Amino acid sequence: MSLSEDEGLLNSDSEGMTEEKSLQKDNSITAIISDESEISSNDNAEHEENQSMTKGAKAFSDKDNSWIRLKKDTKDGEEEEEESEMEEEEKNDFELEAEEEEKNRVLVEKEAKENLEEDLNKEGTMGLGGQSEAVHDLNEMKERIQDLVNILSDFRRKRDPAISREEYMNRLRSYCAKFYCYNEELIEYFFDMFSPKECLEWLEANENDRPLVIRTNTLKTRRRDLAQALINRGVNLDPLGEWSRIGLKIYDTPVPIGATPEYLAGHYMLQSASSMLPVMALNPQPNERILDMCCAPGGKTTHIAQLMKNTGVLVANDLKKERLVATVANLHRLGVTNAIVTNYNGCRFPDVMGGFDRVLLDAPCSGLGVISRDTSVKLNRTIKNIQANAFVQKLLLLAAIDSVDANAKAGGVVVYSTCSISVYENEAVVNYALRKRHVKLVDTGLSFGTPGFTSFRTYKFHPAMTMTRRYYPHVHNTDGFFVAKLVKYDNVIPVDKEKSEEDLAIEKALEENRKAAEEREEVIAGKKEAGKEKSGKKEGEKRFGKKPRQDKPKHNKPRQEKPKQEKGTEGAANAKEMTPKEERKMVRNKKDGKKRFMMKQKKE
């Protein structure tokens, strides 16, 4: 090929290349123009989306993903970065942060509203769970209990219209009875006393132990000295509270708190915080006559004695003789010297002894306030048991009122207390005493506590019942307790014209108790006379010798005559034969006599 032909080919190739380049430039220009138009349209769409979001667009959630911006298919990654950088350069950093915070705040608010609506819908649709939905474990049951309590706490908003409140309550009672191991009768009783939320707190509090508390015995030491001695032994403690000057709360101890030298020396008493409250309400004074009608095991009795400073007369009575053993031991250990221990039925006490200045009645009860210490109460107690206890408590309270003197300096004070939260055993008993005796309720003088009930179910009580005090573990961190203070203003027993069946039953029981007391006194008097006769016979025998016994053979064998002893030269005429033991003793005495005689001669 010639040179001219090669040059022609090169020129034709270069012309083709230039034409292709021009076509590529035209295509790129048209693409850029179309991209710019798309970018402008997308920017307008973004602007509209932002405005709609600020006006109330839906918040982000798992179900609604419309808040996520879709990536622009027409843009390359580099162009998006360049545009975002240009926008950031145009705005200040503070403005950008403010915008982001505002967007986040709006989104969070919307999400919270949606979540609340979802929860309400879930609670409403969940309802009672249905009988087909079985509870597989305790955690699931606990969650259902909490859900039901939440619904009942705001019933109008959170309820399911198809389900009544009674159906919700029935399911909640059933779950609580199974989860906390109560009988359903007690659970129903608790839900009548408390709101669902407070009842759940009460049930939870009964699953935990109360703090360990000791009471300082001021007859032997001071609280400051006792606390220092226990701290030196490694005990972690604190004062009980502002309301008590003698209590100490024990958190941790390396030694048994009931076996320290201070305990054995009687410097303190193991006693719950709530059991100190009745004695504080009684407010005993020195040189008074006070009765503790149900005293065992002696915690309140020793507390009364230390407030009396071992003066006056303190009668500690209890029906069960075996429980008085612990009472006597505590009285001796704590150094109480003004107490008299008796073993009578409290209902009969007015016929035995009366005229007291103050009486403390810590009545036997169902123990619904100390479930954390005795879990058997959960299943063993029924409403019938509680009402039976209330009958005995009414008898005891009337006897306690009859035992005090209305003309005493203190005015005849009676403090009634129980370790139960039952209305039948507390307000109902006090209300009965207000109707049957000339007494009135007064302030307990306690600085804290919940006022008593003035109504419960179909019962209406005296308006002054608000002066009584209730204590709960979930409110005051003490055992469940009740304290009421009564003052007697007349010794005359009122007579009712119209008597109910309960009044007749109580009067019959009191009459039977009086007759039993008289019979017991006769038996005791007869035993005393018989004892005196026996003691007189013994004294006469000692003075004048025993009466000659009749010749009766000790055994059924015939008596054998002993051979007569011959007269000896040294012994008496009727000398008896000596046993080997007597012979050895005689020889020993002779030797001792010779020794003493020789020693005497040497001295002389």
Distance from the Cα of residue 491 to its chain's centroid: 38
Catalytic residue, chosen from 199, 347, 365, 419, is 419
> Kind and range of the H or E element at 230?
helix 223-232
> What single DSSP character describes residue 467?
G
Residue 295, marked binder:
yes
Separation of alpha carbons 509 and 493, rounded Å? 17
Contacts of 483 (CB under 8 A, 6+ apart): 277, 278, 281, 415, 416, 417, 444, 446, 449, 468, 469, 471
Residue with tokens 């002696």: 298
Complete DSSP assignment for 320-373: -TTTHHHHHHHHHHTT--SEEEE---GGGHHHH---BSEEEEE-----TT-TTT
Q: Return the HEC string of 62-98.
A: CCCCCCCCCCCCCCCHHHHHHHHHHHHHHCCHHHHHH
**Closest residue by Cα to residue 485 from 425, 427, 424, 443:** 443
Phi, psi dihedrals of residue 592, rounded to the nearest 5°: -60, -40
Active site residue 419: yes
Contacts of 245 (CB under 8 A, 6+ apart): 223
> What are 488's strand-pairing partners?
439
Q: Which two tokens stand for residue 234?
A: 């490694």
> What are 481's strand-pairing partners?
471
Separation of alpha carbons 122 and 126, rounded Å? 6
Separation of alpha carbons 221 and 223, rounded Å? 7
Residue 362, marked binder:
yes
Contact 319, 345 (CB under 8 A): yes
Q: Other CB atoms closer than 10 Å to residue 305's CB: what's the count? A: 27
Q: Which two tokens stand for residue 582?
A: 């007597």
Residue 299, marked binder:
yes
Complete DSSP assignment for 419-435: S---TTTTHHHHHHHHH
Separation of alpha carbons 344 and 326, rounded Å? 17
Residue 297, marked binder:
yes
Q: Other CB atoms closer than 10 Å to residue 22's CB: what's the count? A: 10
Residue 161, marked binder:
no
Residue 300, marked binder:
yes
Distance from the Cα of residue 523 to its chain's centroid: 43
Q: Other CB atoms closer than 10 Å to residue 70's CB: what's the count? A: 8
> Kind and range of the H or E element at 149?
helix 138-153
Residue 298, marked binder:
yes
Residue with tokens 């991209």: 35
Contact 369, 254 (CB under 8 A): no
β pairing state of 212-216 and 289-292: unpaired
Q: Per the annotation, where are the binding residues for S-adenosyl-L-methionine?
A: 294-300, 318, 362
Q: Per the annotation, where are the binding residues?
A: 294-300, 318, 362
Which active-site residues does the annotation give?
Answer: 419
